[in-house]
Structure 1
Amino acid sequence: MKRYLICLLSLLLLSGVSTATFAKGKKSKKKAQTTTAAAPAKKQSEYDKLFKDKQVKTSKGGIMTLHIVDDKLFVELPLKMLNRDMMLMSSVAEITDHTDSYVGLSPLRPLQVKFDTINRTVLLRRDRSQSVVADNGEEIRRALAQSNMPAILGSYKIKAFNADSTAVVFDMTDLFIGNESLLTAIDPRSETKLVLRGVSFNQKKDRSMLTDVAAFDDNATVTSYITYDSKIGKTYNKVTTAKLVRSLALLPETPMRPRLADFRLPLNVLGKYNYHSDYKLMDPVYFATRWRMEPSDQAAYDRGEAVEPKAPVVFYIDTTFTAQMSAAITKGILEWNKCFEAIGFKNAIRVRPFPTPEEDPQFSPQNFRYNCINYVPSLTGDTRVRTYVDPRSGEILRTTVMVCHNMTWEMPFEIFVFTAHADPSVRQRYMPDSTLFEHIKNHFTWLTGVDCFGMSYNLTSSAAFSSDSLRHNAAFTQKYGTTPSMLDIAKYNFIAPIDAVKKGFRITPVGVGEYDYHVVKCLYKPVPEAKTSEEELKVIEKWVDATVGNPVYRYENAKDCPDCGANDVGDDDIKNFKYALGNLQYCMENFDKWISDEDDPEYLYRNGIYNYLYRRYKQLLTQVAITAYGVKTYERKANDPVPSYEFTPYAEQKEALDILYANRYMPDWVQRPELVRLMGIQRERIEEHKDYLSLLMNATATRLFIYEGQGKDHFDHKRYIRYMFDKLFEKTRKGQKLSDEDFYYQTNFAKTMMASSKIVDRKAKYRDGSASALAAQIAGDPKVLDFSDPEACMKTVEEMPLLYSMNDVDFGRDEVSAQYGALKKWPVINTQSTRQLYYGILKELRQVVKPYINSSDRRTREHYRFIYESINRLID
């Protein structure tokens, strides 16, 4: 018994309980337990409180950690990421209506941002600085910093620090589900916006929510559903919900050295204002936009060996595309590898299918690190591209291509119109796979060239080839195709003879041409001997200097240069028109026989072909008009052996005008009334033709002001007005019967002369001073222009669709990807003295029509009487 008590006492001592406590019984034991529980507990941190007892989804990445806590977004930003340059953008992952925006599209340009702190607040700042200091002007640099302070896009109270105080946590929910217009889902150029003018989209926060976050090594994404109510007055109401992925991507810590652009090259550029010290003139500087292309093995590259780049440009192509479509797109993009191989880079561009989650867990079309070619289930037939550029240096960081479903549905119409005369294989409802493959491949070579690699359009390139060579020399076309550059829009040899393919002609481009090799060299070839961007530019300028004067290397960016036509080939537009008109007539007279009733029972396809053929006829006429009034211009620097511009010689202008005015009477083969009756009720084609030709006539008049003072060797505005008068009233002078077209053109001309003379400005003899009915009628007619006011007149004409493009090329560029230099347009010339010319024409016109106001048939008498009495009312 004694031994038992000793053991029990020892056990109690080892367990930390004293014998005194044990002896006090149950009450004392309870007190001891309370004392033990009251020992100091670890204090819960502010960081822990944010997540305790809440539903949390966390994604950790290299630049930040993202938390969705219940319905809020908490951003955990490392302090080392403060003041690091980033890019913020918004892209559409899903949408309820593709007419509002396309899947994969970033509706607005990205924002350059950085995070900063003041007291216990994190600031999201937007940096829009467009200025650089070229030299060591520290005083100017400080002044610029004060004048270009980054704006505060958002401010967020710090909720907590992480455990080791290396990061701050703040709530950014409002930025991603609030009504931030700079991150909208709605494309400003969407089908809805273009068709329904005045439509407004109002975001509804109560129907918007966060759904997912994903953080990666160099970027992070926040996914949310954003809902908009849209309406126009009381007639149009719709709800649109978009799944948006907003990305924050880290810009390179060390910006790429900018490559300065030579404006004699077709480049997409980033413009900056260049400030100098010592009060030198502030001038613009342009950074070429380009991928960072550096040799993976510099020593081997220096030895002249072909090496792979450190970071090749990799495109990931949507697996939704058919195998044929995917193969054609891939081959078209990889065509540019030939140009990169010529400057020592092999496999510079690569194309891969979208990887599976097992192949690449981080892949997502919305992940900023991936260049994607996305399928878009839209009924439109276009293709859109968004290229993201580092605004500090011009380095291309990412590009996204969106291919709409109907692109390949609409393409056969264009192929048919341009090539059916030459290629018998396309004279059917459905294109052969091999033919469609070739054209899709060429389309994507052109598209990626002008939108993905830092280059832009060069519509002048195809003018380097002789029109006669393209028409008569099959061997030439097999070797050179249609153009020396895929940057041109010269996809078809539309002037090749009938059945040209059977005769050995090539009617499509051969791929990248001599000019493309030149541009890629100037844009991407390393210049290791240059230590600065300015030294590098001097080397590139020498490369360009060596090509000036050679038409193959000519680049021009002008609106009304005869050589700058889209879908144009060859060097002679007059010959082109004659060759193409015969080809067009052949197609117009036979196309309905080539398409069977079985393949087109409702005439829908044939109706589309007929409309395309007529649009092509209008394109050809427009190009003839540009030949008459256009000015050939050149991009040049001092001492270049080319002029700044060349006026078209009189004889060439005269021939073009004669063609234009001969075609004011629509040819019978264009009308095809017996066929139109099978296609359903539509506007009379001749009515559309009269409107368009009248517009071309007047547009020619407005642009010929630039020729004033150039002498008798050129057709100027005054000479053209007299030519116009003589042509349109030729039948009247001869006492011949007028056609419907004559009535229309004569009336329009008379009204235009009245408006241009300014006589219609006079108030009628009414006491209230109101304008006369005739003056009001003339002023309200959109087809009547006032030639004496060139600025207003040219603005009106530019708003009218002079050239009906079949592939609506968007020449507009955004702030970080703008084509170098301003598009050349006509200067506005004040020619008030021409009012006397129009007044004199009116007086002469009155005498021309006077003999016929009481003779001929009733319609003709009324027509001439209207002109005669209108002039009397205004002049007398």
Structure 2
Amino acid sequence: MKFISILTTLSFCASLLSAQNKKEKDSASPKSFAELTAGAVKSANGMLPVFAKDDKIYFQIRREILNKELLVVTRVQKSSAGNSEIQVGDEASSNVIKFERGMNGKLLMRKVYYGVYTPDSSASMYQAIERSTLMPIIETFPVTAIDGADSSYLIDVTNLILGENELFSFDNFFKIRMPFISSISIVSDKSFLQSFSSFPENVEVVFQKTFNQTRTMITRSEKPAPINETTTYELNTSIVKLPDVPMKPRLADARVGYFSVGKIDFETNSQGVKRRSYIKRWRMEPKKEDMPAYLRGELVEPAKPIVFYIDPATPAKWVPFLIQGINDWQKAFEAAGFKNAIIGKKAPTKQEDSAWSLYDARHSAIIYKPSEIENATGPSIADPRTGEILESHIHWYHNIMHLIRNWYMIQCGMADSAARTPVFPDSLMGQLIRGVCAHEVGHALGLLHNMAGSHYFNVDSIRNKAWVEKNGYSSSIMDYARFNYVAQPGDGISRTGLLPRIGLYDKWAIEWGYRLLPPFESEAKENAYLNNWIIKKNTDAIYFFGSERSWDPRSQREDLGNNAVKAGELGIRNLKKMVPNLVKYSFSSNDSYEGLNDIYRALIKHYRTLLGHAMDYIGGSYETLSSANENLPTYAPVAYQQQKEAMVFLNEYFFKTPTWLLDTSIMLKTGNTPTGTIADIQSEVLRRLLYPPFRFHAIAARNESIFAKTYTLSEYLSDLLKFVWAELNSSGNISVYRRSLQRTYIAMFLETYKESKGLLSLTELPLSGYTNITSHDVAPALNAHLKNLMKLMRIKSQQKLDTVTRNHLSFLIDEIETALYG
């Protein structure tokens, strides 16, 4: 009887629950599509129609869009007043999503990751990978209305667009790059939709968002000062359908410099895991009717050329030069079999195309930014499945012109008279803009920096008028070989031989990445073909690629030629001629001497850079990548004689005080002091030579049991003693500049000695190219060097010296004794 009573109670409760669920289901049932969208503002009937009504924003998700990967990119369309860190055109976020049907009539939004290589369903690891890569659900949407026979779904995306999330706002990666902003939160009642439009392949949504943010300001006090402020940004979000037919990817190779998308590969190696990377490149294919001609080796136009539009806000006089910088890459694409493959264009006016937008993800563009930042960048958005570049928005900061003016005046002012003025002629500045633009377009095409571009060239050839005007001074415009600073006034080299250009490496890299290959039976055979192609090309050093992350002295920033010592001597020879004329060259009437101080500081920086090029020979090694079947060594130390020459160069142009920098007129007009100027240079250069202890360990690692005769640690210390401490082996006082050098030397050397006593192994030592270097000899060698210095200082102190020199030596002896004995 009790059992029956329980059943009756359960049955009654179930009927109540069923009735309640039915009532809730009826109240939550989707409304009529026509009723809900009546009177709404609607976009064109594109890929994903948008509706706005009664402060609500809706997306119409058609059934054919379900489970399709959509790229969502948000950019800053207007930046906030008083906030110079976040600029117009900055990419706030980039993600891939997809919509799918969920439980209870809801639509789910998943974030899609491509970090794991997923083979086809026949592969042995397919099911295991599928089980381990469930894509996270980041949003759920009740279906507000259904159109037709379940053919499309209307969902409310108001909170998605105007709220705080990584799709329609600044993502975490962007915030990490803005460390001065310690917190940021959206102000909902001050954020609103501005406009929207839908096209066949994409949707564009424009909205303004207001944030409360805390900025950390650097002050003279020990604690940074937080500042609370309100900022408003106009953002543009593009939602683009990824290609239905993914582009055939091409595996990356470290010997040809391309950006890449990386994946973990569990399938290829049955007994382990490997990384696979696909190069980033545009889809470059002939038209179907032109395929036979292409295969015959004829130049053909691509089915879809790469087009870069110039921001309408760009000053009109620079537009032709930017277009030239884009079109300069046409010759490189001809090496891959395509003509007119890349085109620069003015952006259409509103009268010409009212729907065109600079921030539309279907368009690539150069965005002009009114900013104090001295830079330009060439980022791109790529399909994470294949590396296909879908679009690029190059950032062009207005103040880049200040930077390249300084560079060109300092490096080529003695060879080009037009550069001897604070305001360059438009014709000259335009050519400088063209070169920078071509470099950034190279990045947008997928190319990395090639820091070894100039190393192939003989320094004497770079000074030869006929030779350099024909061949240039670098094999790659992706090198940081800014301008031809070794050219001397008497060489008669025209601007053609002073400015950068697209070189043979660039053409080869485009050919390797973009040439359509014949079909292969397998990926392995295609890779073998590409590998053999590289091996054949690399027999000529002009096609050598040098990574910017390499410590190979061939791959340096802003160097020229195959001999850093010789190029440095010529560069400094020009600087010595420049310094006495700097006041005249930088003079601007009714202006302060701020411009003079600015260019003087830039000149000193270039001088330090020239010293650094030779410095990287010391303890350096060459890194030459090859495939295993070539059976070649990867690493080799810099030759003994080159390292010795580098030390002699440093003695001549650094250890011996560069008093030629101390022009009295400059000092009096800028407020720089001779001792302060020299001390700053000494500190910067000695830091690279002495601290931290990497260089000592790199030199010590070159033991003669592995290598031929190399520059040893004892010889390095002996040369430092000879050049820095020459006065200890001669009579006489020590000058103020040399005292500064020696005191800085001891301060940094003692820091290095302190660290070296507990440092027996360095993992992945960057200066050497080797890993897990162990040297028990460094600390004892530094200890002996300090004791020898102390001994020589005591002997020197017995001489007849002025008070300043005697105090100097006494102070240094005390410092060394304290470090050695406590």
TM-score range for the pair, normalised by the shorter chain length: 0.7 to 0.9
3-state secondary structure, aligned to 2:782: helix
**Given the alignment of the two structures, is residue 664 of structure 1 paired with residue 655 of structure 2, yes or no?**
yes
1:96 corresponds in structure 2 to 80
Contact kept, 8 Å, 2:487 with 2:493, in 1: the verdict is no
Distance 1:741 1:276, change over 3 A: same
User: Of 456, 459, 465, which residue of structure 2 is paired with 1:467?
Assistant: 459
Question: 477, 489, 496: which is aligned to 2:487?
Answer: 496
1:368 corresponds in structure 2 to 361
Structure 2 runs not aligned, ≥5 long: 1-28, 217-223
Match of 1:575 in 2: 566
Instruction: Select between 643-652 and 578-587 the one with higher mean Cα deviation.
Output: 643-652
CA shift in 2, pair 1:250/1:601, >3 Å: same
Aligned match of 2:783 = 839
Give the whole-Å Cα distance in 2 for the aligned partners of 1:276 and 1:857.
Answer: 76
1:87 counterpart = 2:71: yes
1:149 and 1:560, CA in 2 relative to 1: closer, same or farther beyond 3 A? same
Written as runs of structure 1 = structure 2, the 5 A alignment for 1:362-401 is 362-401=355-394
- Are 1:741 and 2:719 an aligned pair? no
Q: Which deviates further from its counterpart, 739-748 or 322-331?
A: 739-748
| Secondary structure of 1:627's aligned partner | coil
Unaligned runs of 5+ in 1: 1-42, 759-784, 799-822
Go from structure 1 to structure 2 and tell me whether the alpha carbon gap of 1:865 and 1:44 turns closer, same or farther (over 3 Å shift): closer
Q: What residue in structure 1 maps to residue 812 of structure 2?
A: 867
Question: Cα gap change, 1:693/1:279 in structure 2, threshold over 3 Å: closer, same or farther?
Answer: closer
SS of 2:50's equivalent?
A: strand
Q: What do residues 344-401 of structure 1 show as CA deviations (whole Å, max 9, x unaligned)?
A: 3221112221113343343111211111111112122211233010001111111111
Is 2:472 the counterpart of 1:481? Answer: yes
CA deviation string 1:163-195 (max 9, x = no partner): 3421111122222221214643489779x976x
Distance 1:58 1:531 in 2: 50
What amino acid is the match of 2:773? I
Compare relative contact order (CA 8 Å, sep 6+) and give the higher one, 1 or 2.
1
AA at the equivalent of 2:785: I
Matches of 1:469 and 1:383, distance apart in 2: 30
Distance 1:824 1:524 in 2: 34
2:43 equivalent to 1:50: no
Residue aligned with 2:670, SS = coil
* Identical columns (%): 24
Q: Does 1:309 align with 2:306?
A: no
Query: 1:706 touches 1:716 (CA, 8 Å); kept in 2?
Result: no
The more displaced of 411-420 and 341-350 is: 341-350
Residues 603 and 678 in structure 1, CA contact (< 8 A), matched pair in contact too? yes
Are residues 640 and 435 of structure 1, via their aligned partners in 2, closer, same or farther at CA, if it must alter by over 3 Å? farther
Q: Map 1:626-665 onto structure 2 (within 5 A).
A: 626-640=616-630, 643-662=633-652, 663-665=654-656
**What one-letter code is carried by the residue in structure 2 that aligns with 1:637?**
S
Q: Tell me, yes or no, if structure 1 residue 170 matches structure 2 residue 162.
A: no
Compare 133-142 and 371-380 and name the one that shifted more: 133-142
Residue among 691, 695, 711 paired with 1:715: 711
Q: Secondary structure at the match of 2:628?
A: coil
1:515-594 superposed matches below 5 A: 515-530=505-520, 532-557=522-547, 558-594=549-585
What TM-score do you get using the length of structure 1 for normalisation? Answer: 0.82
**1:130 touches 1:271 (CA, 8 Å); kept in 2?**
yes
Give the count of matched residue pairs: 773
Higher-Rg member (1/2): 1
**Is 1:829 aligned with 2:812?**
no
Distance 1:278 1:480 in 2: 45
TM-score (norm 2): 0.88
> What value does the CA root-mean-square deviation take over the aligned residues?
2.9
How far does the alpha carbon of each residue in 1:225-279 deviate from its partner, in whole angstroms, 9 at most, with x for none? Answer: 1112222375523221100111211001111111122321111111112222783
| Cα drift, residue 671 of structure 1 | 1.8
Pick one of 86, 97, 119 that aligns with 1:113. Answer: 97
The match for 1:789 among 759, 772, 780 is 759
Alignment correspondent of 2:25: none
1:688 aligns with 2:680: yes
SS in 2 for 1:695: helix
Q: After superposition, what is the alpha-carbon deviation per residue over 1:694-751, rounded to whole angstroms, capped at 9, x for unaligned?
A: 2122159522422324338222334323432343333123243122333334334444
- Cα distance between partner residues in 2 of 1:732 and 1:588: 32
User: 2: CA distance between counterparts of 1:443 and 1:129?
Assistant: 33
> What is residue 220 of structure 1 aligned with on the other side?
203
Q: Which residue of 1 aligns with 2:140?
A: 155
Report the secondary structure of 2:380's partner residue. strand
Are the aligned partners of 2:87 and 2:369 in contact in 1 as well (CA < 8 Å)? yes
One-letter code of the match for 1:856? L
Question: Which letter maps to 2:788?
Answer: E
Looking at structure 2, the residues matched to 286 and 186 of structure 1 have their Cα atoms a distance apart, in angstroms, of 24
**Contact 1:193 1:199 (C-alpha < 8 Å) held by counterparts:** no
Separation in 2, partners of 1:94, 1:375: 12
1:457 matched residue in structure 2? 449
Is the deviation greater in 207-216 or in 392-401? 207-216
Alignment-mate amino acid for residue 501 of structure 2: G
Cα distance, 1:161 vs structure 2:
0.9
Measured after TM superposition, the shift of residue 757 of structure 1 is: 5.0
CA distance 1:559–1:305, change in 2 (3 Å): closer
Q: Secondary structure at the match of 1:463?
A: coil
* Alpha-carbon distance between aligned partners in 2 of 1:82 and 1:868, rounded to the nearest angstrom: 77
What SS class does the counterpart of residue 189 from structure 2 fall into?
A: strand
Distance change in 2, residues 1:757/1:323 (3 Å): closer
Call closer, same or farther: CA 1:378–1:831 in 2, change over 3 Å: same
> How far does residue 303 in structure 1 lie from its aligned partner after superposition?
3.8
The whole-number CA distance in structure 1 between the counterparts of 2:296 and 2:750 is: 74
Q: Partner of 2:724 in structure 1?
A: 728
| Alpha-carbon distance, 1:415 to partner | 1.1
Please point out which of 321, 327, 332 is paired with 1:339. 332
Query: Is 286-295 or 234-243 further displaced after alignment?
Result: 234-243
1:437-462: per-residue Cα shift (whole Å, max 9, x none)? Answer: 2222121112111x111222111121
Moved more, 676-685 or 628-637: 676-685
Alpha-carbon shift at residue 520 of structure 1 (Å)? 1.3
CA deviations over 1:601-623 (Å, ceiling 9, x no partner): 32233222211111110110111
- The alpha-carbon distance between structure 1 residues 282 and 187, as it changes in their structure 2 partners (threshold 3 A), is closer
Is 1:474–1:505's contact at 8 Å kept on the other side of the alignment? no
Tell me which residue corresponds to 2:131.
Answer: 146
Superposed, which structure 2 residues align to 1:431-450 within 5 Å? 431-449=424-442
User: 1:421 & 1:614 partners in 2: Cα distance?
Assistant: 16
CA contact (8 A) 1:548 1:641 kept: no
Q: What is the CA deviation profile of residues 625-654 of structure 1, one whole-angstrom value per residue up to 9, with x for unaligned ones?
A: 112232121121124486412211222211
CA contact (8 A) 2:114 2:385 kept: no
